Amino acid sequence: MHLIMGIHAITEVLLYAPHRFIRVLTAMPKAEGRKSELIELCMKKNIPVAIASFDALTKMAGSDSHQSFVAEIKDREFLALKDFLLQEHSLVLMLDQIFDPQNFGALLRSAECFGADAAIFSKNRGSDLSPVVAKASCGASELLTLIRVANLAEAVSQFQEAGFEAVAALLNPQAKSLSQFHFPQKTLLIVGSEGEGIQPLIQKRANHAVYIPMQGKIQSLNVAQATATLLYAYTAQKG
């Protein structure tokens, strides 16, 4: 069992994966608006609703941004990389050294919204799933296919053997402008945090490097914004 929090995250998972729910806890049994709609949806899906104090929910979730709702759900399954590669896929997002849970959640949300087949991340070098991640992802952390591995560099090689080309988001002399770059049909898009970036070994194994040209005075986007732009560019090219 693990926890997710927040009205939007709980609602999205409840709509698309109600079988995962154990119960929903709320500090607002007489809620109105969206909160009332969530309680009604729980009743419609036959999900038990229990009452808990705001402080108790904060202690459970490790955050006070739960909007008075925390859900207990069954642990999700991670897909083994070897099993994933036996199937036909075209777009996978690799997250390297994303330690901030807000960024991690936002990245998973973008991957789900733009139709990525999966997101892959490290067991050791980055954030893991948490209520904060679930809320930031608007529930995508529970809906998107996720692959968790011990060695991302080795995973890059396995993707390449399966016909993928690794495209790293980098700002270096070898990188091509996004406006001039054509994504491979089978793309492994690799992004790293603003601080740590992409590990050097993974950079070396990438087939391509791409950057987003800037027009304003601020010459950078955060990783979540940049990744959303890159994912959109892929989907726009592939139509």
Structural domains in the chain, sorted by start: 2-73 (3.30.1330.30), 81-238 (3.40.1280.10)
Please tell me the predicted confidence (pLDDT) of residue 133: 96
Tell the burial category of 221 from Cβ atoms under 10 Å away from its Cβ (0-12, 13-18, 19+): middle
The whole-number average pLDDT for the span 149-155 is 97
Please tell me the predicted confidence (pLDDT) of residue 230: 97
The mean pLDDT of the chain is 93
pLDDT of 79-125, one tens digit each? 999 999 999 999 999 999 999 999 999 999 999 999 999 999 999 88
Q: Place 36 in a pLDDT band, splitting at 50, 70 and 90.
A: confident
Counting every residue written for the chain, the total comes to: 239
In this prediction, what percent of the chain has a pLDDT beyond 70? Answer: 97
Q: How far apart are CA 1 and CA 3, in angstroms?
A: 7
* pLDDT for residue 30 is more than 90: no
Please tell me the predicted confidence (pLDDT) of residue 216: 72
Edge-to-edge order in the sheet of strand 69-73:
2-5, 69-73, 21-26, 49-51
Q: Place 219 in a pLDDT band, splitting at 50, 70 and 90.
A: low
pLDDT of 157-209, one tens digit each? 999 999 999 999 998 878 999 999 999 999 999 999 877 789 999 999 999 99
The whole-number average pLDDT for the span 58-73 is 95
Please tell me the predicted confidence (pLDDT) of residue 34: 74
Please tell me the predicted confidence (pLDDT) of residue 32: 67
39: left (phi over 0), alpha (psi -120 to 50) or beta: alpha
Instruction: Output the pTM of the full model.
Output: 0.92
Q: Place 38 in a pLDDT band, splitting at 50, 70 and 90.
A: very high
* Sign of the torsion angle spanned by Cα atoms 227, 137, 153, 166: negative
* pLDDT for residue 28 is more than 90: no
Please tell me the predicted confidence (pLDDT) of residue 238: 83
* pLDDT for residue 217 is more than 80: no
For every residue of 184-197, DSSP letters joined together read -SSEEEEEEBTTTB
Q: How many helices (H) and strands (E) does the chain have?
A: 10, 11
Q: How far apart are CA 172 and CA 165, in angstroms?
A: 19
Q: How far apart are CA 4 and CA 24, in angstroms?
A: 10
